[in-house]
Structure 1
């Protein structure tokens, strides 16, 4: 069974760096979007700032990568799967 592991590892294609960065930002966006805390105003400001940064960046990356990888269904599917609700629905606060 363990003899097959090197073959499996070699068969996996490496994720493009820009797609990996997008996935990380999208994950952080979703994390902070779920952290809402009305009881601690200082912490809420930190959360809002983290949401502005991670969600704003992830949304811009999503749009750019969707166009860049439009002709590559494998990467496009992965990008769309990572574009969670927090990324898709993000709107910059005024």
Structure 2
């Protein structure tokens, strides 16, 4: 499972590097956290309690971070429609509905 996650992250690095060049750093970081939030929110392993604890911790970390960033960035870039659109498009359901 961790190998697959690591491979996924490695595959996404070139895309993130490209995004970071064009986007403000805080927006690029938000996108990364939002993607990880969505990934982990889709994981569930009721048969492996240890793995489930890892998933829960990853969800709390990535979704919590993304949700805080989403609210802050929405206000910060309120007058920049292009960035607002990018932020809104990446505020997926997992980020929007996260509750700790």
TM-score normalised over the length of structure 2: 0.78
Shift of 1:67: 0.1
SS of 1:36's equivalent in the other structure is: coil
Structure 2 unmatched ranges of 5 or more: 1-20
Deviating above 4 A after TM superposition, structure 1's stretches of 4 or more consecutive aligned residues are: none
- Give the structure with the larger helix fraction: 2
Which residue in 2 is equivalent to 1:38?
46
Alignment of 1:69-84 (within 5 A): 69-84=77-92
Structure 1: distance between partners of 2:22 and 2:41: 29
Q: Report how far residue 37 of structure 1 moved.
A: 0.9
Structure showing greater Rg: 1
Structure 1: runs of 5+ lacking an equivalent: 1-12
Q: Deviations over 1:54-74 (max 9, x none)?
A: 000000000000000000000
RMSD between superposed Cα atoms in Å: 0.9
- Tell me the TM-score normalized by structure 1: 0.83
The 1-side partners of 2:44 and 2:96 are apart by 18
Higher relative contact order (CA 8 A, sep 6+): 1
Structure-2 residue corresponding to 1:57: 65
Residue aligned with 1:38, SS: coil
Aligned residues: 80
